[in-house]
Amino acid sequence: MTGFVSSALFVYTDDTKSLIEPVQNNSLGTRITPVAFEALTQTPQKHLEEVGHVVVAGPLDVIKEIMRLAMEHHFSIGIIPTERQKHLIRLYDLPRNTSAAIELALRQDGPRIDLILCNGQIMLFKAAIGRIPFLDATITTSWFRLVTIALKKFIGFRLYAFKFLTAGQQQINTATSGCLILNHSRASFASRLISNGHSFTDGMVSLVISAPTSIVEYAKLLIQALRSAERYKHLPSSIGYIKSSRIEIGSETPLDVIIDDKHTTHTPVHCETAAGAVRVNVGESLQADNRREKAAKEEIEVSNLPGGKELLRIIKQKRIPFFSYASEERFNDLFPALREDARLNSIYLVLMVLSTMLATVGLYLDSASVIIGAMLLAPLMNPIVSLSMGILRGNIGIFKNSIVKIVLGILIALFSSALISFLFPHSSITEEMLARMNPTLLDLGVAIISGIAAAYSKSFREVIQSLAGVAIAVALVPPLAVAGIGIGRWDFQWFYQAFLLFSTNLVGIIISATFTFRVLGYSAAVRSKRSLVVVFVFLVLISIPLYLSYNRIVTDRIFEQKVQQERFLVNEKYLIIRTASIFRRRDKRIILMDVLAREPLNRADLNTFKKKIQANFDQKLVILINTHYIP
């Protein structure tokens, strides 16, 4: 059963003088003594003597002063908000309607709530230190406004060295752009980050620390804020969280502390909870929430924040980089595996020989399934991915080991396939072989995508099984086997074409895997620019023959399509070109045509036909014709 106080002091300001009458004429039987805020602050002892309940209506500063007095004089508080005090209404779940607000304000037995004091000043909503990227914006903010805020706050964004000390004497040294102390609030993006929630009665201060170490991380945080409609299950990668009854915050240089949107103090700042400091008549929903709250424990989630050696580097930077740099801790998971992959061992050599032999036999058999088997068996992808990391980190050890392993693998593969080709010199040329002798820029595209996939799969254990798919997509060993066959046949053009495809795959994977590791944050604190430049130079160099090859293939395909609309009148015999395909062998351009004819073609006809083609297309074209007769 709800009870009401028998008497109360009503504190008003000039703005809220109009409320005196409705408060005094309340129908709840409460006797009201109105007093102006100025009069109260002049002689508080006189007005507050034997007062058990105060109803206040006025600006935030006035309410905070009443709360301070309540801590001294132990009276309970009822608040009548004005229409403009939306944050206050949301904070204490107060009614918007005046008579309902008066009714709530005059109730007795309001719950005891905590007050957060920062350097002795009461904080009702939030306290911001440094630069918080849009986390203090309300969740009702439109995406356009949120992006605008994020962009505006990004100007001059950098991380500073901060030190946090909790009540449990946990000291955290990190780099952060700023932090946000939150009171009980469900309305901001920052409050959604805190999965465990917080309340008025847990005796704790909640602190959200933002540390996006790169532009990518900043953008990621913004995307998460835009996407998430509900609370996060895990803290975003650039956010830390501390919940303690007392937090001391220090920064390398004094920073302003904005409490409830007013600049009031600066770092170092000492924030603590005055547990159950005042009794305030809050709305029904909050009363229910706070009844559920049990004694809270100190919580510290700062694993996402920079620390150790990384910290020193970050605080030296005047602005955050585009990509993050990985900490040694993050890197420790991946690095040993890559170091091992770069090391030469007998298993690698045996697998290299077997996969090449299998690929070579598959190529001779024109069997796609055997060739795919060889792709899966081939161990060449691992040292290539290691090489990418070696280049990125400037790690000479991994770099050298990977190079040795790759080069040896290539030589073994070329030797194995050349040997088979040498032993079986009369085996026919198959479609599978020809398919690997016309590399184009599109193949470079496949290699680049595969390189991204390889680095990505390697970085996340849960998707490492996808490496098999990557190996099939990029197909390293078959072109190498075809190049080896070229050596066995003493055909340099053959070798060149196939080896160009292999080199395309190799360079494509290296460059894209390096880039992917960079994006994923595995780059070193000191970037290995020189090695990256070398890889880019290789990429540019390999792109030239690929571009020429691509152009040549496009020209050939256009010709193949065009030729289907061409007819020849040869010695009064009408020849219809049904299909034509162009391929190259050694330095010859060969056109294979399916021709429809009514009458049999004799040698003279074929010679005339050949002359017509050579006169109108290409003198050096070698012509192969399959003739089909019209019944």
Which chain residues interact with other proteins by CB under 8 A? Answer: 562, 565-569, 572, 574, 576, 596, 598, 612, 615-616, 630
Task: Determine phi and psi for 240, rounding to 5 degrees.
Answer: -120, 160
Question: Minimum CB separation from other proteins for residue 539, in Å?
Answer: 23
By C-beta, is 274 or 596 nearer to other proteins? 596
- Residue 341 CB, shortest distance to other proteins, in Å, is 42
3-class SS of residue 469: helix
463 vs 569 by CB, closer to other proteins: 569
Identity of the residue, 230 or 572, whose beta carbon is nearer to other proteins in the bound complex? 572
Q: Quick one: 490 or 629, whose CB is closer to other proteins?
A: 629
Judged by beta carbon, residue 71 or residue 596, the one nearer other proteins is 596
List, as one string, the DSSP characters of 132-171. Answer: --STTSBTTS-HHHHHHHHHHHHTT---EEEEEEETT--E
CB of 569 to other proteins, least distance (A): 6
Q: Is 386 helix (H, G, I), strand (E, B) or coil?
A: helix
In three-state secondary structure terms, 629 is: strand
In whole angstroms, how close is the CB of 587 to other proteins at the nearest point? Answer: 23
Smallest distance, Å, CB 532 to other proteins? 24
Contacts of 217 (CB under 8 A, 6+ apart): 237, 238, 320, 324
Distance CA 100, CA 283 (A): 11
CB of 179 to other proteins, least distance (A): 50
Q: What are phi and psi of 113, to 5 degrees?
A: -125, 160
Q: Which residues of 45-75 are buried (b: 16+ CB within 10 A; e: fewer)?
A: eebbeebebbbbbbbbebbbbbbbbbeebeb
- Residue 474's nearest CA partner among 496, 450, 494 is 450
Closest distance between other proteins and the C-beta of residue 573, in Å? 8
Residue 113 CB neighbours (<10 A): 23
- Which residues contact residue 621 at a Cβ distance below 8 angstroms, ignoring those fewer than 6 apart? 589, 590, 591, 613, 614
Min dist. Cβ of residue 578 to other proteins (A): 11
On the CB side of 69, CA atoms within 13 Å amount to: 28
Among residues 503, 513, 502, 501, which one has the least CA distance to residue 449?
A: 513
The partner residues of 588 in beta bridges, in order of sequence, read 585
Select 303 or 602, whichever has its Cβ closest to other proteins. Answer: 602
d(CA 245, CA 168): 9
Handedness of CA 191, 181, 146, 517 (dihedral sign): negative
* Cβ atoms of 274 and 187 closer than 8 Å: no
Tokens 């010199």 sit at which residue? 425
Nearer to other proteins, 148 or 571 (CB): 571
Of 368 and 569, the one with the shorter C-beta distance to other proteins is: 569
Min dist. Cβ of residue 611 to other proteins (A): 10
Angle at 135 between CA 520 and CA 282, to 5 degrees: 145
In the complex, the smallest distance separating the C-beta of residue 562 from other proteins, rounded to whole angstroms, is 7
Specify the residue, 248 or 618, whose C-beta has the smaller distance to other proteins: 618
Edge-to-edge strands, sheet with 205-210: 262-266, 256-259, 126-130, 178-182, 205-210, 239-244, 299-301
Nearer to other proteins, 231 or 578 (CB): 578
Local structure of residue 620 (DSSP, 8 states): T
Q: Residue 166 is encoded by which pair of tokens?
A: 């909790």
Q: Which of 518, 134, 530, 147 is nearest to 321 (CA)?
A: 518
Shortest spacing between CB 581 and other proteins, in angstroms: 19
Our CB check for other proteins shows the closer of 492 and 574 to be: 574
Tokens linked to 529: 């620019």
- The nearest distance, CB 584 to other proteins, in angstroms, is 22
Calpha distance 439→483 (Å, rounded): 13
Closest approach of other proteins to the CB of residue 608, in Å: 10
Q: Please report how close the Cβ of residue 614 comes to other proteins at its closest, in angstroms.
A: 10
**From the CB of 557, what's the least distance to other proteins, in Å?**
14
Query: Closest CB to other proteins among 411 and 604?
Result: 604
Q: Toward other proteins, which CB reaches closer, 298 or 618?
A: 618
Q: Exposed (0-12), middle (13-18) or buried (19+): which is 138, by Cβ within 10 Å? A: middle
In the complex with other proteins, which residue's Cβ is closer, 525 or 596? 596
Question: Are residues 540 and 503 in contact, defined by beta-carbon separation less than 8 angstroms?
Answer: no
Residue 246 to residue 169: CA distance in whole angstroms: 10
Question: What gap in Å lies between CA 438 and CA 552, rounded to an integer?
Answer: 10
Q: Which residues contact 595 (CB under 8 A, 6 or more apart)?
A: 575, 576, 577, 578, 625, 626, 627, 628
In the complex, the smallest distance separating the C-beta of residue 570 from other proteins, rounded to whole angstroms, is 9
Given the complex with other proteins, which of 224 and 608 has the nearer CB atom? 608
Residue number, 156 or 600, with CB nearest to other proteins: 600
